[in-house]
Structure 1
């Protein structure tokens, strides 16, 4: 089933003063730390990320050696007389050029069913897109969640948790999604692509370079969440090229997988300079054929693939 209507296009951001952006990020983390001082309220992905950025700002390391990005999780707790204590985890990743670009955020919560959780993340994404770029906004994001979370909950929280588990258990749709990006170069994006797939128990592969290709397969709810997270990153262009779906009932999902795990693939580089590298599409086609997916090559590139001489038809 084609999914050409499911497209996100994000224009590349103009060059910004990264040093100024990182100074703002450090000050924002300090502010959030003071807002959430209790153990477990704010957890950094990498404890050394702020230290490394401070070293860069102090001129101790060059930008090309700055391999850290600020990422953290905030546990936002709200108390309601009719619902009790509700906890939402806000997962945040800050690109180096944030706040000139939007932060990458999504939520986790055991207090709502899958549909309400999807709406929460979509509405949060829309809210962030409306904020002014160039100004830190995580406090506003936290405030928005605190003010709006009740709209995504039911009065019977215990029933809601049961429903959430039921949704997960009764998802009988196997989905394979083929994603096309103009390019995938960023080490941070490459890390997110892999780690999110592992977290959501998806199999498939990613191909960095130009173009960038990602395939994920698993239960529909997990592939949908993966796509929602992925499209929130800053891309020049990213598209779902194809979506395959089938109801597997009570069958073992592993029967339907074409890939045994999720991994990043790299093939022989041809052409390009510096990081503008292109993968060998002939070897990509050979890899797809090996996994019974050769037909998707023409979906991506509009031509039939060939492996006889290692080249691809023009």
Structure 2
């Protein structure tokens, strides 16, 4: 995947974009007035953005962005979904970051829904507010992604869902991801927050290049990758995918990392906002976690310790 969204929007009038975002936010909030229908991620974000628009805050100190979740329950569907929206400051000059959560939808149907939603969004004109259209599309199309299970007896559906969950949660997966660079404070936050939400362990390495490792149950890892690749990247690829059927074994025995954290190793400055990490210390960290062989896969050379 080779998206340049962040770089392509370099000449965007951020104040104009954020002003448009606030107007769309107010419209959507009025459309979903009931408790629990519309949930703002960060209650201080609106105030911070408004302060910036009023000229009382420099852009470099604007650390908030608009993010919210809309609960959608089309009348003709038995499935309820959550539409998660996270808006880059450059939106609508660049696409919004959106994905759905659908705990009652099976894995394949949910994946197909997210793929179709993504295709719909990339087909829309840039520069136009589109979240109302996205919600409308979901309301009109969600029924297509419901399976026959929705029309069976409740007991049969539960047994199938339980069986499906057992099958999906019996596979342990570790994903090694390479990015040309990771600088954006928002991407760095998403990388950590999504791993925490999905109960994944691993680490991320910002800078140039960027490295992300996540491990956990297969479905959660796939969900994480789906979200991550929807962000704007110059280059983002999976270098290695490790999988193991663990049956009903304790997943903690298969993890190489405790928790998920961002790692920083002796930062060295480069051109502009570029910075690089000490790769020798990265190798030491990988080797410590029995992953030293991964270094050559990323960088084409054998890793060497600094000591």
Q: Provide the TM-score with structure 1 as the length reference.
A: 0.91
Residue deviations 1:117-173 (CA, integer Å, cap 9, x gap): 111111111111111111110001000100000011135434556544432322221
Which residue is 2:135 aligned to?
142
Which residue, 1, 10, 13 being the options, matches 1:17?
13
CA distance, structure 1, for counterparts of residue 9 and residue 41 of structure 2: 28
Which residue is 2:167 aligned to?
170
* 1:112/1:161 contact within 8 Å kept: no
Which residue is 2:118 aligned to?
125
* 1:173/1:247 contact within 8 Å kept: yes
* 1:168/1:221 contact within 8 Å kept: no
Paired residue total: 299
**What is the Cα deviation at residue 184 of structure 1?**
0.8
Residue deviations 1:231-268 (CA, integer Å, cap 9, x gap): 01111111111111111122211111111111111110
1:109-258 equivalences in 2 (<5 Å): 109-157=102-150, 158=154, 159-160=156-157, 162-171=159-168, 172-258=170-256
Which gives a bigger RCO, structure 1 or 2 (Cα 8 Å, sep 6+)? 1
**Which runs of no fewer than 5 residues in structure 2 stay unpaired?**
none
Which residue is 1:91 aligned to?
84
Residue deviations 1:89-122 (CA, integer Å, cap 9, x gap): 1000000001111101111123311110111111
* 1:111/1:161 contact within 8 Å kept: no
CA distance, structure 1, for counterparts of residue 157 and residue 289 of structure 2: 40
Which residue is 1:66 aligned to?
62
Residue deviations 1:191-250 (CA, integer Å, cap 9, x gap): 110110011111100011111100001111111000000001111111111111111122
**What is the Cα deviation at residue 14 of structure 1?**
3.5
Which residue is 2:25 aligned to?
29
CA distance, structure 2, for counterparts of residue 246 and residue 86 of structure 1: 31
**Which runs of no fewer than 5 residues in structure 1 stay unpaired?**
1-7
* 2:49/2:64 contact within 8 Å kept: yes
Q: Provide the TM-score with structure 2 as the length reference.
A: 0.93
Question: Equivalent residue of 2:8, what SS?
Answer: coil
CA distance, structure 1, for counterparts of residue 201 and residue 112 of structure 2: 25
Which residue is 1:269 aligned to?
267
Question: Equivalent residue of 2:252, what SS?
Answer: helix
CA distance, structure 2, for counterparts of residue 87 and residue 189 of structure 1: 28
CA distance, structure 2, for counterparts of residue 110 and residue 219 of structure 1: 15
CA distance, structure 2, for counterparts of residue 218 and residue 273 of structure 1: 36
